[in-house]
Structure 1
Amino acid sequence: MSPYLRVLIVEDSEDDTLLVLRELRRGGYTVDYVRVDTPAAMQAVLDQQSWDIVIADYNMPAFSAPEALKLLQSRKLDLPFIIVSGTIGEEIAVAAMKAGAHDYLIKGNLARLVPAVERELREAQERHKRHSAERALQESEERFRQLAENIIEMVFWMSDPGERQRLYVSPAYENIWGRSRESLYANFMEWLEAIHPQDRQHIETVFFEQSLAGTYDEEYRIIRPDGSLRWIRDRGFPIRDKSGEPYRVVGIAEDISDRKLAEQQIREQAALLDVATDAIFVQDLEQHLLFWNKGAERLYGWEAAEVLGRSAESLVYKSEETLPPFEAIQTILAAEGKWQGELQQVTKDGKKIIVESRWTLVRDVAGNSKSILIVNTDITAKKQLEAQFLRTQRLESLGTLASGIAHDFNNILTPILAIAQLLPLKFPKLDENTQELLRMLEGSAKRGGDLVTQILSFSRRGVEGSRTIVQTKHLLLDVAQIAQRTFPKSIETQTNIAPNLWTVFADATQLHQVLMNLTVNARDAMPDGGILEISAENLWVDESYARMHVDAEVGSYIVITITDTGCGIPPEIMDRIFDPFFTTKEVGKGTGLGLSTVIGIIKSHCGFVNVYSEMGKGSRFQVYLPSSQLTETPAATDVELPNGHGELILVVDDEVTICQITKSTLESHNYKVLTASDGIEALALYAQYKDEISVVLIDLMMPGIDGSTTILTLQRMNPHVQIIAMSGLMSNWTTAQKRSFGIQYFLSKPFTAQALLSTLREVRDS
């Protein structure tokens, strides 16, 4: 297909026009042409359509080629312009070419026309491409200029590293650097001189080595003329020539001072969070962990690198039983933005903990829920102390109830026991059957008294027996020997007792009872066999340890540990095991007083008990007793009791039966007796017989004027009065109180005739 050519012919001769057209068609073109011979006609056709080329006769009567060329140029049209003339001098042709004509031909030699047209069309196309590229470049440069000069947060720059010259820098430079662009254009080194001395050498090196390679991306500090410091992030990108070689660098420098300040604040805040003792972590709405502070690492044992991205639920909750009500918490968070409560959790090593948890919903700037900030405080020790305190309160309340019952019960048992002992003395010729019945009565009364004593022991209101310096090592070895001989062969007994174990000031009989109760419980927990370990060691309890245990005080202790590998104690009953009459054993196999007696005896010795147990693995009971660190003393032997020598004894008790049986017992052993049923009667009798009364035997718990008030009044009447106090509740009077009142003798109800007469003998001999 022939190429299409639109030709504007400026010619006044029709014949010459036909010659030109014939030559073009011979050259293979399909020609669309218009011939004009005046400026007006040329203007008109230029307005009507676009043209590919202009062919003009040089000399015409009304219009010439130079005039046509000027008209074309005035229209700023870049079209090939070829002059065709009959005759033209060389000077005229050169002048036409200088004026803008692209070629000239002689009408007599049109053979050059087609090649000239082809050449000029090619050159016109090249010029058009070049002009389009230049216009695009100009437009791009203009857009870049407007962009660069209107963005004040960043500095756009262009440099020639080889020549060490800044070719362009945007106006933002003056605002950020505080220096003029003109000074930078004049002195490239001004940029380096503004960089902080500690950063300058590094930046100078990497800029000239890396900017042309496309790897220049640095952060550095600059010092402004006013002395202020700014942080800059500077990035460079190479510009390459046609051969791909970099020859210039363009870049962006931005002020990142605010970001650096924020990062510093974040680091400081993170450091504060890490110093915090609380566990602080952040999770997204799907419970994936986003932040985990040092406090969380310390509490849970998980390093931050181990947990980030993982589910908090799978890490700190052992089972569905301990899972918090997430749906309820989410509802409260959505409504109030925060939630607070106590949660049961586990650490990495499986240790159970209790935390006070505070949840805060974090929202983004649009108000949408983004994440949850959780602050957990370990309150495990606090909850344990609360449990110990509540258990102590419960035991004290039960002890108060039991002591009231025991007081009345002791008052009932005392005359029964005394009568059972007195009747054989009054009637020595009783038949054997009657004497056996009296012995049975005496034994039953004693067992009843022992039961009351055991009930009172758990509440620290029991009888305070004879206390001496005791080396518990002997007791422990004795208990271990009993266990080895009497326990099933399937139970292996082991001992681990410190060779230098300290002594304690204690009632050896009561401690023996404690140890037997604990070892028997351990045996019962191992019906299929196991290991019973009895150990003891010395321990210094410091302030930190004492704060963790309600009953502990700073000082030296011995710790006796009874460990079994039995079935363990269910967690749900752990808080009740020291309650009196509570037992898990079958009916008839346990009274429920074993552990309550243990806790009562140990507390009466100013000690405390800790229990650790795990189902299926066994239990460990630790008994803490204050050490004495004195030498063990041998127990005193009993001395035979003589009768009285006719001394007058004043017996004071609100229970008539006790007064009567005590009177009978004393009179049968050569004592004279006066009785009073209350404090007022006692004071009246003492005032009347003060010089004759040798000893006052008085109950501490009486209605009206109680025993302590009566004793104080008696001592005012006679500072040297000899007093024996009686009570079924030893806790009513401590050792210090007895000493402060000058009372050295005490009878625990129910008492035997032997105890009564022995105590009177001690008073008489003193």
Structure 2
Amino acid sequence: MNEPAMPHSSLILVVDDTPALLKAALRLLGREGYRVTGVGSGHEALDVVQKSRPSVVLLAVALPDMDGFEVLRAIRSLKDLPQPSIIMMSAAQTLSEDQAEVLAQSADGYLARPISNAELLARVGLLVRNHELVAQLRRSEAQMARAQRIAHVGSWELDVVRDELTWSDEVYRIFGRDRETFEPSFNAFMACVVEEDRKDVLTAQERALAGREALNITHRITRPDGTVRWVHELGELESGDDEQALLLTGVVMDITERHENERHMRLQQAALESAANSIAITDHEGRLLWVNPAFATSYGYEEEELTGKRPGDIVKSGVHDTAFYKEMWETILSGRVWFGEIVNKRRDGSLLTEELTITPIRDAEGKVANFIAIKQDITERKRMEMQFLRSQRMESIGTLAGGIAHDLNNLLAPIVMGVDLLAERVNDDALQVVIRNMGQSASRGTSLVRQVLSFARGVEGARVTLFLDQVLREVVTMAKTSFPKNVRIQTESDDDLWPVIGDPTQLNQVILNLSVNARDAMPDGGTVRLLTRNVTIDDQYASMRRDVEPGDYVLL
């Protein structure tokens, strides 16, 4: 007993108006595992073909309603349906010329009755296998077309011998052309290329056809609607045994979006690179992944020196305590933005004050993966702010000093008058010396009050030509009457001391303050030496000091 054959997916339609022959054919094919169905008329056959789409049709020529060749022509006219393989069956041994022509053009075979089972099965088996191969090929082509459409990649083939260019459906889509109206050729392709790119495309094509290198070029094309697209083409040459070029096959990719993205990325990169503000990107542990030139320059480093380092290991100034950095990290690790002022250290050890913003960046899972730091050097701004606050304080002090000086002036006025009266009435020489010192002190006090008032009003003191040795002598005279006996004062001046320009009262006060400071620094006594001499500053010495210019000076 024969084992049943493996089932086939293909459907076979048998069309025969003889019930016995129809039944026998269906039974034979069914035993071989084929799906079968049978009808006895032409109209029924057309209905089954349209609804069930059989792979093979066994079609009898003699039918009650239609001629078998009419049915054949009707099936072939169904353009929107996959065409079955058709075998015509007839008891006639010969065919008319018309029938033979139709058979040759439209049928896949002809069987003259009587038909042996072996011949029928062989013919059907061959057609089924061919049909399955064709179906598989069509599925592969459809999958390829779908893959090309998804990837924006089309395939093309240039037959060098016949000068024929073949495009896949996706190439037509990329170029914006209609398969029905556009005939691809090399000249037609070159007409699609943007004019400025044609020379490069032609050169690349010629080098590929010469076998010097594979085709690999990016260029622009213009669609019929005027839009410009960027494409990338790759191709390889197939040559004959005599190394003559036969076939150039390749692919073309629509890279417009990628090109635009790359252009935007380059633009963004250029903006970041040229930004005046310092910008850095770190991983979630704070290691630097990228810095712009402004960031590296602000600290005195090269960009590559900072990559992979933690800013805290490089620029930490020591000004801020642990709590400061703890609060910063807690903020950014929680996904919040941190903003504030921070003092950092340059490579040379100098400090700079910065306004810093750290923004956390989350990954696809919502976890903090990176940080972007943007900072601005505000050292100069902070210095100006401090200078402004200092000037405000000085203004307040000046207002206060003006009021105090006014009161002191009222207090000193009767003292000055009293000293003059005492000098007239006292005849004791020793007391006269004391009175004279009192008068000089009162006069200096009056001058000091005038200076304070000038300061309060923003007026500079009188600047006159004077000799520092004379100022020293006045200071020494006053100091000797007020300093303790264990503190000695010595002066030393050049004999030809140069004159200087200055305010004598201010100079007197400065030297006296220095002397008092020196006295206070020697509680057990000692010697205060006041020296003046001529010095000349040359260009070499002046070049080492920003606040000094070459010239003649008097050294105190």
TM-score (ref. length: structure 2): 0.56
Aligned in 2, Cα 1:409/1:389: closer, same or farther, shift over 3 Å?
A: same
Q: In the alignment, which residue of structure 1 is the partner of 2:193?
A: 195
Aligned in 2, Cα 1:44/1:387: closer, same or farther, shift over 3 Å?
A: closer
2:338 is aligned with 1:339: yes
Instruction: Choose the corresponding residue for 2:144, options 127, 147, 155.
Output: 147
Check the 8 A contact 1:154/1:252 in 2, yes or no: no
Once the two structures are superposed, residues 557-613 of structure 1 have per-residue CA deviations (whole angstroms, 9 ceiling, x without a partner) of: xxxxxxxxxxxxxxxxxxxxxxxx9x9x995469xxxxxxxxxxxxxxxxxxxxxxx
Aligned in 2, Cα 1:282/1:41: closer, same or farther, shift over 3 Å?
A: closer
Aligned in 2, Cα 1:237/1:373: closer, same or farther, shift over 3 Å?
A: farther
1:190 maps to a residue whose letter is A
Check the 8 A contact 1:158/1:251 in 2, yes or no: yes
For residues 74-153 of structure 1, the aligned pairs below 5 Å read 76=125, 139=136, 142-149=139-146, 151-152=148-149, 153=151
For residues 468-479 of structure 1, the aligned pairs below 5 Å read 468=464
Equivalent-residue separation in structure 2 for 1:276 and 1:208 (angstroms): 44
Equivalent-residue separation in structure 2 for 1:510 and 1:460 (angstroms): 16
Q: In the alignment, which residue of structure 2 is the partner of 1:206?
A: 204
Q: In the alignment, which residue of structure 1 is the partner of 2:355?
A: 356
Aligned in 2, Cα 1:229/1:189: closer, same or farther, shift over 3 Å?
A: same
Once the two structures are superposed, residues 138-163 of structure 1 have per-residue CA deviations (whole angstroms, 9 ceiling, x without a partner) of: 84773244232464351321424633
Q: How far off is 1:415 after superposition?
A: 2.0
Aligned in 2, Cα 1:386/1:182: closer, same or farther, shift over 3 Å?
A: same
SS of the residue 1:344 aligns to: strand
Q: In the alignment, which residue of structure 1 is the partner of 2:462?
A: 466
Q: How far off is 1:234 after superposition?
A: 1.9
Equivalent-residue separation in structure 1 for 2:133 and 2:319 (angstroms): 69
Instruction: Choose the corresponding residue for 1:73, options 105, 117, 122.
Output: 122
Aligned in 2, Cα 1:150/1:284: closer, same or farther, shift over 3 Å?
A: same
Once the two structures are superposed, residues 108-146 of structure 1 have per-residue CA deviations (whole angstroms, 9 ceiling, x without a partner) of: xxxxxxxxxxxxxxxxxxxxxxx99x9889847732442
Check the 8 A contact 1:158/1:166 in 2, yes or no: no
Instruction: Choose the corresponding residue for 1:432, options 429, 437, 449.
Output: 429
Equivalent-residue separation in structure 2 for 1:358 and 1:383 (angstroms): 18
Check the 8 A contact 2:208/2:237 in 1, yes or no: no
Aligned in 2, Cα 1:387/1:336: closer, same or farther, shift over 3 Å?
A: same
Check the 8 A contact 1:156/1:250 in 2, yes or no: no
Q: In the alignment, which residue of structure 1 is the partner of 2:261?
A: 262
Aligned in 2, Cα 1:324/1:400: closer, same or farther, shift over 3 Å?
A: same
Aligned in 2, Cα 1:141/1:401: closer, same or farther, shift over 3 Å?
A: same
For residues 263-278 of structure 1, the aligned pairs below 5 Å read 263-273=262-272, 276-278=275-277
Check the 8 A contact 1:238/1:248 in 2, yes or no: yes
Equivalent-residue separation in structure 1 for 2:200 and 2:250 (angstroms): 18
Q: How far off is 1:512 after superposition?
A: 4.8
1:187 maps to a residue whose letter is S
Q: How far off is 1:254 after superposition?
A: 2.1
2:154 maps to a residue whose letter is F
Q: In the alignment, which residue of structure 2 is the partner of 1:162?
A: 160
2:421 maps to a residue whose letter is L
2:144 maps to a residue whose letter is L
Equivalent-residue separation in structure 1 for 2:491 and 2:284 (angstroms): 59
Q: In the alignment, which residue of structure 2 is the partner of 1:651?
A: none
Q: In the alignment, which residue of structure 2 is the partner of 1:417?
A: 416
Q: How far off is 1:384 after superposition?
A: 0.4
Equivalent-residue separation in structure 1 for 2:164 and 2:286 (angstroms): 53
For residues 209-608 of structure 1, the aligned pairs below 5 Å read 209-210=207-208, 215-236=214-235, 248=247, 250-273=249-272, 276-293=275-292, 295-296=294-295, 299-304=298-303, 307-319=306-318, 321=320, 325-333=324-332, 337-363=336-362, 367-425=366-424, 427=425, 430-439=427-436, 441-442=438-439, 445-446=442-443, 456=452, 459-460=455-456, 465-468=461-464, 507-509=502-504, 512=507, 588=521
Aligned in 2, Cα 1:229/1:75: closer, same or farther, shift over 3 Å?
A: closer
Aligned in 2, Cα 1:244/1:40: closer, same or farther, shift over 3 Å?
A: farther
2:410 maps to a residue whose letter is N
- Aligned Cα RMSD in Å? 5.5
Give the count of matched residue pairs: 402
Q: How far off is 1:440 after superposition?
A: 5.0
Q: How far off is 1:202 after superposition?
A: 1.7
Equivalent-residue separation in structure 1 for 2:522 and 2:391 (angstroms): 26
Check the 8 A contact 2:156/2:251 in 1, yes or no: no
Q: In the alignment, which residue of structure 2 is the partner of 1:175?
A: 173
SS of the residue 1:398 aligns to: helix
Once the two structures are superposed, residues 198-237 of structure 1 have per-residue CA deviations (whole angstroms, 9 ceiling, x without a partner) of: 2122223323534877743321000112222111122235
SS of the residue 2:344 aligns to: strand
Aligned in 2, Cα 1:162/1:40: closer, same or farther, shift over 3 Å?
A: closer
Q: How far off is 1:460 after superposition?
A: 4.7
Aligned in 2, Cα 1:296/1:145: closer, same or farther, shift over 3 Å?
A: same
Check the 8 A contact 1:288/1:312 in 2, yes or no: yes
1:157 maps to a residue whose letter is S
Check the 8 A contact 1:285/1:370 in 2, yes or no: yes
TM-score (ref. length: structure 1): 0.42
1:228 maps to a residue whose letter is T
Please say which of residues 209-218 and 332-341 is displaced more in the overlay.
209-218
Equivalent-residue separation in structure 1 for 2:248 and 2:376 (angstroms): 56
Q: Which runs of 5+ in 1 are unaligned?
A: 1-6, 9-38, 48-65, 79-130, 480-485, 489-503, 522-580, 591-618, 625-766
Equivalent-residue separation in structure 1 for 2:164 and 2:321 (angstroms): 68
SS of the residue 1:76 aligns to: helix
Aligned in 2, Cα 1:241/1:438: closer, same or farther, shift over 3 Å?
A: same
2:260 maps to a residue whose letter is L
Aligned in 2, Cα 1:245/1:361: closer, same or farther, shift over 3 Å?
A: farther
Once the two structures are superposed, residues 469-508 of structure 1 have per-residue CA deviations (whole angstroms, 9 ceiling, x without a partner) of: x69xx989x99xxxxxx999xxxxxxxxxxxxxxx9x744
Equivalent-residue separation in structure 2 for 1:213 and 1:139 (angstroms): 37
Equivalent-residue separation in structure 2 for 1:420 and 1:260 (angstroms): 96
Aligned in 2, Cα 1:406/1:45: closer, same or farther, shift over 3 Å?
A: closer
2:435 maps to a residue whose letter is L
Equivalent-residue separation in structure 1 for 2:413 and 2:546 (angstroms): 36
2:203 maps to a residue whose letter is T
